[in-house]
Amino acid sequence: MKVEKLIANIRNNRLPASEQREQLDLLATLNRRHLAGRDGDPELDGQIKAMETAFRMQSEAMETFDISREPEHVRKAYGDSPFARSCLLARRLVESGVRVVSVYYVNGSNQPWDTHTNHDDGHKKLCQDADQPTAALIADLKQRGLLDDTLVVWGGEFGRTPYAQNEKDQKAGRDHHHTAFSMMLAGGGIRGGMTYGASDEFGLNAVEDRVHVHDLHATILHLMGIDHERLTYRYAGRDFRLTDVSGDVVKKIIA
């Protein structure tokens, strides 16, 4: 896929990159004079640096977003679906120094996993499409020495009910379900080859080593080197923090 189709206005149709660079160099000179005349105003300085950073990001994105630069065997390992190309692009972004990358699963629908109807057939196809690029991403990061300091978090905000949801003239689906569902974490200090927690025999409720979403967030923040309890502030009569008012680091899953 061409980079122009991924990012709007990524190319300047009238000026080559070299002339754009000359314009920015001139603008930088004028900015420095303007900044000096305002006694190094930090807000102005921050705005100038932000605009320069934006240009560098745009120019470097031209190469990073061009997944056709990847060898054929690498592209084949990921597959050729929209999600597969997104996973490959995610690895390229991580490799180029991007600190946080989000891949949103799209395959013919903005919310294909929201299977209120035709759940079994729908999820079978979705899993077939998602498994290959997910595995390829983790393997690729590991092979390049990037997995140790890259945390991969795979999941959604809830699961699906273990019982059927029937709609008229439709194949059975599954409703939203938040009391027992799974998240996958890999790399970034997570212990490999293990599962943590368990549901009851019906898959209805988490009953063993339960992990609240605040616990998950606390653990992710810990792996990023952030103490989720440190930033606490009082508002409207109670304390708030990065994990609201609860959450514990799940130490048993950390390597």
> How many other C-beta atoms lie within 10 A of the C-beta of residue 134?
21
Residue 6 has pLDDT above 70, yes or no: no
Closest CA to 229 of 246, 210, 211, 204: 246
Express each pLDDT in 212-231 by its tens digit. Answer: 999 999 999 999 999 999 88
**Do the domain assignments include residue 4?**
no
Looking at the fold, whether 178 and 73 belong to one and the same domain comes out as yes
Looking at the fold, whether 151 and 135 belong to one and the same domain comes out as yes
Express each pLDDT in 14-25 by its tens digit. Answer: 888 788 889 888
Looking at the fold, whether 32 and 121 belong to one and the same domain comes out as no
Looking at the fold, whether 55 and 76 belong to one and the same domain comes out as no
Residue 42 has pLDDT above 80, yes or no: yes
Number of domains in the chain: 3
**Do the domain assignments include residue 37?**
yes
Strand-pairing partners, residue 176, are 160
Which residues touch 26 (CB under 8 Å, ≥6 apart)?
none
Lowest mean pLDDT among 11-20, 130-139, 190-199, 220-229: 11-20
Q: What is the average per-residue pLDDT within 100-111? A: 85
Domain that holds residue 234: 211-255
103, 86 contact by CB (below 8 A): yes
pLDDT level of residue 51 (50, 70, 90 thresholds): confident
**Do the domain assignments include residue 249?**
yes
